[in-house]
Amino acid sequence: MPPTAISQAPGFVGRPTRRVDGPLKVTGRAKYAAEYDAPGLAYGYIVSSAVAAGRVLAIEADAALQMPGVIRIFSHADRPATATADKAWQDEVAPPGHPFRPFGSDEIHFALQPIALVVAETYEAARDAASLVTARYEVTQHRVDLKRERATAYDPPEKRAGIPPPPAPRGDFAQAYADAPVKISADYVLAPEYHNPMEMFGTTVVRNDDGKLLVFDKTQGSQNVKAYLAGVFGLPEGDIRVVNAYVGGAFGTALRPNMSAVLAVMASLALERSVRVTLTREQMFALGYRPHMEQTVSLACGRDGKLLAVHHDAVSGTSPFEDYQEAVVNWSGMLYACANTKLSYALAKLNTNTPCDMRAPGATSGVYALEAAMDELAHAAGIDPLELRIRNFSERDGNTDKPYSSKALMLCYREGAARFGWSRRQLAPRSMREGNELVGFGMATGVWEAMVVPVTAKAILSADGALEVSTASSDIGTGTYTILAQIAADAFGLPLERVTVRIGDSALSAHPVEGGSWTAASAGASVSLACAKLKEQALARARRMTNSPLAQAAMEEVAFTDGRIALAGDAGRGVSLADVLRASDLGHLEEEASFTPDEKLAGRYASYSHAAVFAEVRVDEELGVLRVPRLVSAVAGGKILNPKTARSQILGGVVMGLGMALHEEGLFDHDLGRLMNHNYAEYHVPVNADIGDIDVLFVDEHEDKLGHLGVKGLGEIGIVGTAAAVANAIFHATGKRVRDLPITLDKLLG
Amino acid sequence: MIRFDYVRPTSVPDAVKALAAKPGAQVIAGGTNLVDLLKYDVAKPSRLIDINRLPLRAIEDTADGGLKLGALVTNADAAYDVRVAQRFPLLASAILAGASAQLRNAATTGGNLLQRTRCLYFYDPHVPCNKREPGTGCPARTGVNRNLAVLGTSEHCIATHPSDMCVALAALNAVVHVTGPAGERQIALSDFHRVPGDRPDLDNTLERGELITAVEVPFSDFGRHYTYLKLRDRLSYAFALVSVAAAVRLDAGRIDELRVALGGVAPKPWRNLEAEGLLAGAAPERRAYEAFADRLLAGAQGFGDNDFKLGLARRAIVRALTQAVAGTPQSQSDKRVA
């Protein structure tokens, strides 16, 4: 059979493609950090603080130490030395401050802070002994009530890298607001939210005979954890390797190295054996979280709906020891055109762990308040909420006055509204009803940064024609394995099965943490470049082969298909890659390439992904029972590499947005300083019954400034705006404006 | 540290003997609540008596046309039993309103009665709780009490009993069969759970060594006019903020008999027989339901977060009676409230 007949490998990029790691995951062959075994593995169990603030006076561990199987109990009073400088504890994405050091001192900053680690021969023995460890505390007054601490809020003196502080005021907000004919001002409160990935944190440290450590860790950045652990424990970087081949969800909580990694390595080094430490679900609630937030938004517009004044102030909780910062209020200066803006952002210290980036950090919180306020303004002006957004549409980033590299938000508005049936909406609240239920339509805009970061990738072609691409990226359930396989397969015209993707290993080529929705665009671009370079090498070698049919061929004249290079118009004239390797006397061909964002180009444009979210809610008028039977999310995210995994990302974001709107709430006892609902039964996330029909559509958007793939990320845009769309629909249904999330039924009772 | 021994008797007398012999012995059946409590260091049994080999899995007809559910009948088997569904659709509906399919496959009839409160303080051994450790105090009174009781509370405890099934059983005048060292006895379901008073550690009236062997549901005629209306913080897999089991028999357009039990608001399924009696002969109309609701909720007191339950319960009672009288029971799959 001539090669042409079998060379019709379809392109994978842009087509719905099943996850290449799916079969491994559903059959349990994909191993997670706490599933690796090692000879002589010891098990660590963390003992947590019972109080929220104060000092540990003494750890009583004698009874626990007598338990069979107990090896050692670590605490601030008994632990190996670690780095003294804060710098060593500051990871790639640490905010300013003094990073938390497990067992660093006797100080207690937050309830459930780890105070001891019991290491034993079995998990059960460690857990059992841990229940016998008690502590005496000197208790000091804790602070967990943001409402009360708002008065103590401060402008963080040191700004967090990569997070733009609020821009300087534009125009004269106060005067414009005073003079405007239509205005609103309101306070919006967000409950603390917890990432709650299914997979709990766990670290298995496998200690080799030569003392080198192989660390299986749940993380979004193997190289971040590796550098951190090397710094904290003063190890040569060559002595430590971190693997995170599969990650069972993260949503940002695994961006920073976790306490389980520090404690497992600490124990492994001290005991000179392999150690595993896992967190309980309860302890997962003592990690970083989406902070409590109190916001005030004041908006004014003319009778025509054109914005005249925007003020957005936010106060966010942070820990006693770090100034965690997000871009919360900036969105209110960039999203719509307005000449008079005033934006401010401050922090208040609370006795909690440091908050941690959670799916679209800052935007999820800030755009909620802005978009709820826009709905209030639309109502005050008597203008359709969608029409208000369209009238204030901006072709430039209001904060920087830069044009957008691409912004198909208008298409999101139009196509989303058409799909949803927005035109059927009656303007007045409480004007739609069916049986006992009031019906409401609400919408909101979503926006998130489209970022690209430097990534290096490697591509290796074997003699059997198989292709391997690799970079130290992570797949936290987003589909990284799959999209990289698609890109590589298309580069060489191979079926997906012939491509192996290796990620999740600090030993691979350089890749920053997986976050910020930058992985598809950045890792994808680097793999694409490595493949292109590898093809150049292969063609150069093919040209040099004796009697090569490709002797004169240039890259644009050939096609790579199914392990062959052939003339594009004449597939019979070519050579197999296996023959190329044989002729070169090589077992494989290999190239490494780096994708580097074009800073100059980036400096001239603002790059964001956008969405328009439309929600229908139904509220039982008498009982407050609330349903969201359908929701449309129209997304402008540049080129869509894989419509199937892309849709899944948006679905996940939307569901998380529903949780934010209706369910998720860390409940603190203010007297005890303690989160009380630290389990899945009582910390509510949406269940299937809460999730109606979610219709995801991607509008056409041509992006050509962010790298050659034209891709923007999709991991986060799905959540931004969703809670506001739901809250706005609730107002439309009931006439009742609930500004404190989550909107539980008691808040809707008349 | 929980040191307990474990026995797996094969007969009820052996189980009772094992239970009576050791203070702190506890029975385990489905384990859907107890295993959690063990993991949280809340339950600290001296002995676990695994009763899964006891012959208590049958659903039997009783002479009066009722049903006797063995203590080990799972929630799923009870809800989907044809006789239960036909004779006591209120019970089937209440069971299906609770937990998840997976939990209902494991949870048992006897265990459902014995499940502990979902008070957040009860589940956290780091904080005081009079139910868990008598005398330590009740921070819930001034703390996070959104899911706690407004009726039947005491200064020592404001916990609720979380069951859905028991609410229907209370409305159906079910009887609990128990066997103890002194022999067998029967306890009306409405007398089974207790209000905390100054002994919040005691959830029920079982004597030491007594084992639940069955729950009997006597014949009744509420197959047409009933509903189980459960209101909660999400549309499935959440405990009730307020639930109402309502059963009505109509005669010539008037209320002949009415039974209403409330869940989610008290340490036990909450009924008021006198208030029910007052409605006999009344026309089934909203004003009568409201007056009934006010009587049933008499003395209710909120503690801050849960103040809303007073108003919500009143409305839920009215809606449930409306559903029951109309013969349009609340669906447990369609989440729209009928």
Q: What is the pLDDT of residues A11-47, one digit of tens each?
A: 999 999 999 999 999 999 999 999 999 999 999 999 9
Indicate which of B117, B314, B337 best probes the interface with A, i.e. most A CBs within 10 Å of its own CB.
B337
Q: How many residues does chain A have?
A: 750
**pLDDT value for A601:** 86
Residue of A173, A57, A157, A184 lying closest to A115 (CA atoms) = A57
A128: which chain B residues are within 8 Å (Cβ-Cβ)? 1
When CB atoms are compared, the residue of A667, A679, A745 closest to B231 is: A745
- Tell me whether residues B238 and A618 touch, CB distance under 8 A: no
**pLDDT value for B4:** 95
**pLDDT value for A125:** 97
The full set of domain ranges for chain A reads 3-30+453-596, 388-452+598-750
When CB atoms are compared, the residue of A50, A67, A684 closest to B238 is: A684
Looking at the structure of chain B, the number of domains it has is 1
**pLDDT value for A9:** 44
Helix axes A480-492, A519-543, angle to 10 degrees: 30
**pLDDT value for A602:** 83
- Tell me whether residues A668 and B144 touch, CB distance under 8 A: yes
**pLDDT value for A750:** 75
Contact in structure between B76 and B105 (CB atoms under 8 Å): yes
The predicted model gives A321-338 an average pLDDT of: 97
pLDDT, mean over chain A: 96
What's the CATH code of the domain at B257?
3.30.390.50
Does residue B75 sit within a domain?
A: no
The predicted model gives A145-150 an average pLDDT of: 96
Distance from CA of A736 to the nearest CA of B (A): 17
**pLDDT at position A409 over 80:** yes
Q: What percent of chain A has pLDDT over 90?
A: 97
Contact in structure between A576 and A551 (CB atoms under 8 Å): no
Residue that the structure tokens 């049958």 belong to: B58
Distance from CA of B240 to the nearest CA of A (A): 12
Residues of B engaging A, defined by a Cβ cutoff of 8 Å:
1-2, 41, 118, 120-121, 123-124, 126-127, 139, 142-144, 146, 231, 233-238, 241, 308, 311-312, 315-316, 318-319, 335-338
What is the spatial distance between Cα B202 and Cα B197, in angstroms, rounded to a whole number? 10
Contacts of A484 (CB under 8 A, 6+ apart): A469, A471, A473, A501, A503, A523, A524, A527
CB of A687 less than 8 A from some CB of B: yes
Contacts of A27 (CB under 8 A, 6+ apart): none
Whole-angstrom Cα Rg for chain A: 27
Strand order in the sheet with A114-120: A70-75, A114-120, A42-48, A275-278, A202-207, A213-217, A240-243
Does residue B230 sit within a domain?
A: yes
CB of A195 less than 8 A from some CB of B: no
pLDDT tens digits, residue range A285-318? 999 999 999 999 999 999 999 999 999 999 999 9
This prediction has a pTM of: 0.97
CB of A748 less than 8 A from some CB of B: no
DSSP letter, residue B204: B
Single-letter residue type at B40: Y
**pLDDT value for B2:** 79
What is the spatial distance between Cα B204 and Cα B114, in angstroms, rounded to a whole number? 8
When CB atoms are compared, the residue of A667, A672, A744 closest to B139 is: A672
A689: which chain B residues are within 8 Å (Cβ-Cβ)? 234-237, 335
Distance from CA of B292 to the nearest CA of A (A): 18
Does residue B109 sit within a domain?
A: no
Q: What is the ipTM of this complex?
A: 0.97
The predicted model gives A122-138 an average pLDDT of: 96
CA A715 to chain centre: 6
B338: which chain A residues are within 8 Å (Cβ-Cβ)? 436
Which residues of A are identified as catalytic? 716
- Tell me whether residues A672 and B127 touch, CB distance under 8 A: yes
Contact in structure between A465 and A621 (CB atoms under 8 Å): no
Contact in structure between B60 and B68 (CB atoms under 8 Å): yes
B127: which chain A residues are within 8 Å (Cβ-Cβ)? 669, 672, 674, 676
Contact in structure between A335 and A304 (CB atoms under 8 Å): no
When CB atoms are compared, the residue of B143, B146, B237 closest to A671 is: B143
By C-alpha distance, the chain A residue nearest B312 is: A623
Helix axes A259-271, A222-233, angle to 10 degrees: 50
- Tell me whether residues A622 and B315 touch, CB distance under 8 A: yes
Does residue B78 sit within a domain?
A: no
Q: What percent of chain A has pLDDT over 70?
A: 99
**pLDDT at position A54 over 50:** yes
CATH number given to A3-30+453-596? 3.30.365.10
**pLDDT at position B47 over 50:** yes
- Tell me whether residues B121 and A676 touch, CB distance under 8 A: yes
CB of A682 less than 8 A from some CB of B: yes
Q: Is A314 helix (H, G, I), strand (E, B) or coil?
A: strand
CB of A436 less than 8 A from some CB of B: yes
Distance from CA of B25 to the nearest CA of A (A): 20
- Tell me whether residues A684 and B123 touch, CB distance under 8 A: no
- Tell me whether residues B234 and A132 touch, CB distance under 8 A: no
Cβ neighbourhood burial of A67 (10 Å; 0-12, 13-18, 19+): middle
- Tell me whether residues A436 and B316 touch, CB distance under 8 A: no
The H or E element containing residue A646 is helix A643-662
Contact in structure between A268 and A213 (CB atoms under 8 Å): yes
By C-alpha distance, the chain B residue nearest A674 is: B127
A690: which chain B residues are within 8 Å (Cβ-Cβ)? 234-236
When CB atoms are compared, the residue of B118, B235, B315 closest to A689 is: B235
Pairing of strands A240-243, A433-434: unpaired
A677: which chain B residues are within 8 Å (Cβ-Cβ)? 120, 144
- Tell me whether residues A689 and B41 touch, CB distance under 8 A: no
The predicted model gives B269-280 an average pLDDT of: 97
Does residue B262 sit within a domain?
A: yes
pLDDT tens digits, residue range A55-98? 999 999 999 999 999 999 999 999 999 999 999 999 999 999 99
The two tokens of residue B140 are 């819930």
Q: What Å distances lie between residue B220 and A56, A585, B58, B67, B217, CA to CA? A: 62, 89, 20, 11, 8
The range of the structural domain enclosing residue B288 comes to 226-326
Helices and strands, number each (H, E), in chain B: 12, 11
Please determine, looking at this structure, whether the domain spanning A388-452+598-750 carries the CATH number 3.30.70.1380: no
Indicate which of B4, B40, B333, B336 best probes the interface with A, i.e. most A CBs within 10 Å of its own CB.
B336
Size of interface A-B (CB pairs under 8 A): 97
A745: which chain B residues are within 8 Å (Cβ-Cβ)? 231, 233, 241, 312
pLDDT tens digits, residue range A700-710? 999 999 999 99
Contact in structure between A619 and A734 (CB atoms under 8 Å): yes
pLDDT tens digits, residue range B52-102? 999 999 999 999 999 999 999 999 999 999 999 999 999 999 999 999 999
